[in-house]
Amino acid sequence: MNTKLEKLFEKYNFSQKDRFEISQIFFLLTEERKQNLLKNFDEFALSINKINSDIDTEKDILIGSAVEKIKNSILEERKNKIDENIKDEINSLKDEI
């Protein structure tokens, strides 16, 4: 592992997943591109952090949407059950009359 790259990972608090993936790509780069990445790592880190932030926002939206759908489904099921119980009660009362 490139020690400068490792220090940059620490500085920007990259996740283990991001560290692994970037390291894999880093070692495939030419020396010139490696130096360029290290030199411009500030911009790269900002881009990665922005992407991760966008992903987290999308996850929150999707989770919120899923929770809302589940909640609506439960409420609809309860309503249907109550409607069914009311109909049964009405029919029972009709039979008694």
Domain limits for position 46 = 1-94
What pLDDT digit, counting tens, does each position of 43-96 carry?
999 999 999 999 999 999 999 999 999 999 999 999 888 888 888 888 888 878
DSSP 23-48: HHHHTTS-HHHHHHHHHTHHHHHHHH
Domain count, the chain: 1
What's the pTM? 0.63
**Encoded tokens for 57:** 């926002």
